[in-house]
Amino acid sequence: MLVVMKRGATQQEIDAVVARIREFGITPVPLPGAERTAIGTFGSTSREAADAVESLPGVAEVVPVSRPFKLASREVIPTDTVVRIGDVPIGASAPLAVAAGPCSVETREQTVATARAVRDAGAAALRGGAFKPRTSPYQFRGLGESGLDILAEARAETGLPIITEVLTPGDVDAVARVADCLQIGARNMQNFALLDAVGEQSKPVLLKRGMSATVEELLLSAEYVLAKGNRNVILCERGIRTFEKYTRNTFDVNAIPLLKRLTHLPVLADPSHGTGKWYLVAPVALAAVAAGADGLLIEVHPSPDHALSDGYQSLTFANFAALMATVPEVARAVGRTAATSAVRA
């Protein structure tokens, strides 16, 4: 970190900061300047030390330097990680992969029909919610465990591995018995008890960015899972909250190449939540592929205007198939291959 002293800070104030830093076992380096003094401290600076120093007399500002994430960092692990969901590899060296399916599992028919449709269009995995977080207690909250059974049936029928959300530590075992990949939703990105719990089991984890989380916070939440021993973490950009009102969220396309630069973990894009409007999903999905995403997460529903949740951002089978016809073209244009059902069959 770098401790910037105020203009006119006294020598005693500077000495006190130097002494306080030493208490944390860190070596301070005073840097007298024309306008003011700064004190550099390199090595394994803890956040606690930074916080402690910031309120000392004469201190103007404390600037952290070392990146606070380690296992998620490309500086520590330079090689791209490939995570397997079932037998589908996801990552920079794997073909681009698309996971698709309904926001909520509603019925066996709806789910199996959707699984078939998305597989036939080239999807590599099925995503669907059995446990659903909802802003209001009066909204449909998912079928729960019977929803998991339906997802397992859909997998048996189509061969597609399953991604589904887990909401609370108490459900991790039940969901992990069925799912091929556990999703941590945006609202739970900083539910640290849940991150610990999925870090202690072995199924891969799809971690969605919180709606107002910085990229650094997303990487620190990944670090929770990695630090518990589960190294199979996939990140997902799904839109952030801004002042813009036409769209439900603002898809942060910058985050795709930024994450690819900062971390070795695979990065997916969710343009369904990232836009909140079905008619924006396809162009933003293609944008994410062009920006370097390792895959997509798309909401598809047999009859979006009858969906029990998020219908207005779901694609019909036909619209999804049309999108999937273009995805490989864009992927090839930026130098990567796209998995298709033909390739996987």
Residue 341 Cβ, how far from a second copy at the closest point, in Å?
20
Q: Which two tokens stand for residue 243?
A: 């002042």
Quick one: which segment of 82-90, 109-117, 175-183, 256-264 binds a second copy (CB under 8 A)? 256-264
Contact range with a second copy by CB under 8 A, out of 38-46, 88-96, 109-117, 337-345: 38-46
Which of 159/169 has CB closer to a second copy? Answer: 169
Q: How far is the CB of 184 from a second copy (least distance, A)?
A: 12
How far apart (Å, rounded) are the C-alpha atoms in residues 42 and 35?
Answer: 22
Among 25, 329, 337, 343, binds a second copy (CB under 8 A): 329
Report long-range pairs for 43-48 (Cβ below 8 Å, ≥24 apart).
45/1, 48/24
Residues 58-87 that bind a second copy (CB under 8 A): 61, 63, 65-66, 68-70, 75
Is residue 231 a contact point for a second copy (CB under 8 A)?
Answer: no
Whole-number Å distance between alpha carbons of 15 and 121: 67
Footprint of a second copy on residues 140-159 (CB under 8 A)? 140-141
Residues 6+ apart with CB under 8 A from 176: 166, 182, 201, 203
Least separation in angstroms between CB 162 and a second copy: 21
Residues in the chain: 345
Of 152-211, binders to a second copy (CB under 8 A) are: 167-170, 187-188, 190-194, 211
φ and ψ at residue 219, rounded to 5 degrees = -70, -35
Q: Which is nearer to a second copy, 10 or 257 (CB)?
A: 257
Contact between 215 and a second copy by CB under 8 A: the answer reads yes
DSSP code at position 7 = T
How far apart CA 255 and CA 198 sit, in angstroms, is 24
* Interacting residue with a second copy among 56, 124, 162, 184 (CB under 8 A): 56
In whole angstroms, give the CA distance from residue 56 to residue 48: 13
**CB-side exposure of 276: number of CA atoms within 13 Å?**
12
Counting residues that bind a second copy (by CB under 8 A) gives: 114
- Would you say 36 or 344 has its CB closer to a second copy? 36
